[in-house]
Structure 1
Amino acid sequence: MEKLKQIGWDDTILDIEKDNIARVITVQKNSYRVTDGDMDYLAHLSGRFLNQASSPLDFPAVGDWVDVQKLSDERKAVVNRVLTRKSQFIRQAAGTKTEAQIVAANMDTVFIVNSLNHDLNLRRIERYILSTYESGASPVVVLTKKDECTPDEVQDVMIQVEEIAIGVPIVAISNVTREGIDELMEYLAPQRTAALLGSSGVGKSTLVNTLLGQDIQDTKGVREADSKGRHTTTHREMFRLPNDAQLIDTPGMRELQLWEGESVIEATFQDVEAFEKECKFNDCQHDTEPGCRIQEALNNGELDEDRYQSYLKLQRELAYEKRKQNQKAMLEEKNKWKKVSKQQRENYNFRKMR
């Protein structure tokens, strides 16, 4: 039991036979690597699991706790089921298909990593904060490459981020000088799990190496012309830090397409929502209505125009995504009953022939 606690086990997750518990530490296509805190196993999904899975959300993700059958002599395991998640970071999968993708599971904290160079994107940070709140974890904004900036430049960026990351901790660090690392470790307590999320080239893999004290993850620089990064991490993997905290590294995401988040948009945009509540009319459209507090705040500079437009854009995107998901669910339900009807007709015809 002590070994499980060292890799983040929480007794409130589920009452299950402890010898059958393992945690997913790597996912590569259809291959999984799990650990029980004592030994690592190469794992595959049981036939029953595959037959019962109906959605990408049903499959194991890095950070998941799973019920397994261990083949200790071969260091292999069979995954029978995924235990209930306490948190899950979900995004709309890349491409045109309406499908959810779990980036990480059962994390306590999400480190939203950005670099302090001209690739900083406040709108992207807003998206990550929204998705982190929706996941059930707590966001922390991490600004890397502090050694490449002057103190005034760092302070200027910190102020910009504070204005949109209301109530979210912000830590500026340098992997070169280790400045800010001790402050970051306050969010990496023993037996806690954090996930690193952000674009390519912002320093996630370098940070993993810094925290582990050894070069485990491959790293590459960024293009000097535009500070854009190149993909170095190709899969999701969870590492155990020297203090028994768990850290999930993920490939860089060029964009974060939202899957859900309507319930937490107020937490992400507390300032905008507060102005809306001060409007004279409850059904104010924030256009030409008299007594509109939003328009007043925009005109006098209390509310930044770009932030307000981002708020509206994310609302539209969430509404559109919800419509797509509902249409997909309706189509799947229709196809399901088509198959049932077809099977019933075939069974009926078979009985008549007999």
Structure 2
Amino acid sequence: MTLEDLGYNDRLKAYYRERQLDGYSIGRIVSEHKERYTVKTTDGEFQSELIGNLRFTAESRYDFPAVGDWVAISEYDEDKALIHAIFPRSSIIERQAAGRSAQVQIIATNIDYGLIVQAVDRDFNPNRLERYLTICHASGVEPIVVLTKIDLIEETALAELLTGLSRRINDIPVIPVSNTEGTGLAELAPYIQAGKTYCLLGSSGVGKSTLLNRLAGTDLMKTGDISDAVSKGKHTTTHRELILLERGGILIDNPGMREVGITDAAGGLEMTFDQIMELADACRFKNCTHQHEQGCAVLEALETGELEEAAYENFQKMQRERARFEASKAEQRRKDKSLGKLYKRIQEERRRNKF
């Protein structure tokens, strides 16, 4: 195995030279457990942690490593190492942290493609699919939709589902597969390229781990049946992990996500709902909210059936969610700034009292 097999490229090589990291080994984080990281190099895997300076100067979650990161390490035992540097990221897939309105959770970094997996028998939900698309678009990651378990529904039902989906999303590959029968895997195979990194996104029990096993050519991940009581996999992924595939690609598996809160600081929402954005250009007013204004092209498209009502409602809901997140983040920044000023004032008073 070479570093190139793990996705090492010219951009990373240039950073390695510029930062004069010659004395360190280069590796990629393949798993994370409570600020302990497994780093894969050409010499094997090392259980690693940050050096004190990186830990103490970190200002946010973005300053800590995540699965998919490239790092410079020094080995100090047979299978242990210290992380001295985190390479700049080409992309970050993130979501709003569950239950924390102003915080983000990094799902994975340095991703080229997001494999959005939904099962057609139970899990299929166009609204949630649009959320995953928004996360990918905001991260600069190319989305690919994989519809699993097509062996569990009739062909006519699948055709109707695909027709309906085509009215909601455009120019995104949609590949129906059956992990059990192997149907559709040949259509997915050309998208898997050596040196490219893929991230599995989807709920529990949709067949992500089974799909990973198929792509890897071996049973790497534990899988199981669906529980009838909760409609979830009995054996599901519990942590993120980076795996090399049979065809040379690199795939990051993820635990199923019950909540897909968007942060969307980079226009991902507008890219996902590009039809609405195009219609909005024809609105009478530039600041149109597309809710009640006369001369709103979006509302007119709703009335004529040109625009799906479900897509419009999902867009409005996600817009409100994005606005709440931005407002919460701004409030948190104000609080942090006030706390910083208070801390400085206390420190100054302590210094004055010494003299």
TM-score w.r.t. the length of structure 1 is 0.93
Identify which of 27, 43, 49 aligns with 1:38: 43
Instruction: Indicate yes or no: 2:8 matched with 1:4.
Output: no
| 1:187 alignment counterpart | 191
Identify which of 29, 35, 38 aligns with 1:24: 29
| 2:290 alignment counterpart | 286
2:302 and 2:263 map into 1 onto residues whose CA distance is 29
For 1:278-337, what per-residue CA distance to the aligned partner results, in whole angstroms no more than 9, with x for missing partners?
A: 223333343454332222211111111111011111111101100101111111121112
Three-state SS of the structure 1 residue aligned to 2:138 is: helix
Task: Report the CA distance shift for 1:61/1:287 in structure 2 as closer, same or farther (over 3 A).
Answer: closer
What RMSD over aligned residues (CA atoms) do the two structures have, in Å?
1.8
2:345 partner amino acid: S
2:314 and 2:121 map into 1 onto residues whose CA distance is 22
| 2:131 alignment counterpart | 127
For 1:187-239, what per-residue CA distance to the aligned partner results, in whole angstroms no more than 9, with x for missing partners?
A: 21001100001000000011111112222211122234674445611100000
Instruction: Indicate yes or no: 2:56 matched with 1:51.
Output: yes
Does the 8 Å CA contact 1:260/1:321 hold for their aligned counterparts?
A: no
1:109 and 1:96 map into 2 onto residues whose CA distance is 27
| 1:170 alignment counterpart | 174
Instruction: Indicate yes or no: 2:257 matched with 1:253.
Output: yes
* 1:212-223 alignment, distance < 5 Å: 212-223=216-227
Three-state SS of the structure 2 residue aligned to 1:235 is: coil
Task: Between 233-242 and 256-265, report the one with greater CA deviation.
Answer: 256-265
Task: Between 137-146 and 334-343, report the one with greater CA deviation.
Answer: 334-343
Gaps of 5+ in 1: none
Deviation at 1:150, TM superposition (A): 2.1
| 1:15 alignment counterpart | 15
Does the 8 Å CA contact 2:50/2:82 hold for their aligned counterparts?
A: yes
Gaps of 5+ in 2: none
2:65 and 2:346 map into 1 onto residues whose CA distance is 32
Does the 8 Å CA contact 2:25/2:74 hold for their aligned counterparts?
A: yes
| 1:305 alignment counterpart | 309
Deviation at 1:272, TM superposition (A): 1.0
For 1:152-210, what per-residue CA distance to the aligned partner results, in whole angstroms no more than 9, with x for missing partners?
A: 22222222222222211111111111111122122210011000010000000111111
Identify which of 245, 248, 253 aligns with 1:241: 245
Task: Report the CA distance shift for 1:52/1:288 in structure 2 as closer, same or farther (over 3 A).
Answer: closer
For 1:257-290, what per-residue CA distance to the aligned partner results, in whole angstroms no more than 9, with x for missing partners?
A: 1122452222110111111112233333434543
TM-score w.r.t. the length of structure 2 is 0.93
| 2:162 alignment counterpart | 158
Does the 8 Å CA contact 1:220/1:230 hold for their aligned counterparts?
A: yes
Does the 8 Å CA contact 2:15/2:87 hold for their aligned counterparts?
A: no
1:226 and 1:294 map into 2 onto residues whose CA distance is 38
For 1:334-353, what per-residue CA distance to the aligned partner results, in whole angstroms no more than 9, with x for missing partners?
A: 11121122112212221x1x
Identify which of 74, 81, 86 aligns with 2:78: 74
Instruction: Indicate yes or no: 2:147 matched with 1:147.
Output: no
1:39 and 1:186 map into 2 onto residues whose CA distance is 29
Does the 8 Å CA contact 2:241/2:252 hold for their aligned counterparts?
A: yes
Does the 8 Å CA contact 2:136/2:268 hold for their aligned counterparts?
A: no
1:299 and 1:47 map into 2 onto residues whose CA distance is 60
Three-state SS of the structure 1 residue aligned to 2:37 is: strand
Deviation at 1:244, TM superposition (A): 2.2
Three-state SS of the structure 2 residue aligned to 1:196 is: strand
Runs of 4+ in structure 1 displaced over 6 angstroms? Answer: none
Instruction: Indicate yes or no: 2:68 matched with 1:63.
Output: yes
Task: Between 274-283 and 195-204, report the one with greater CA deviation.
Answer: 274-283
1:219 and 1:62 map into 2 onto residues whose CA distance is 22
Does the 8 Å CA contact 2:47/2:81 hold for their aligned counterparts?
A: yes
| 1:91 alignment counterpart | 95
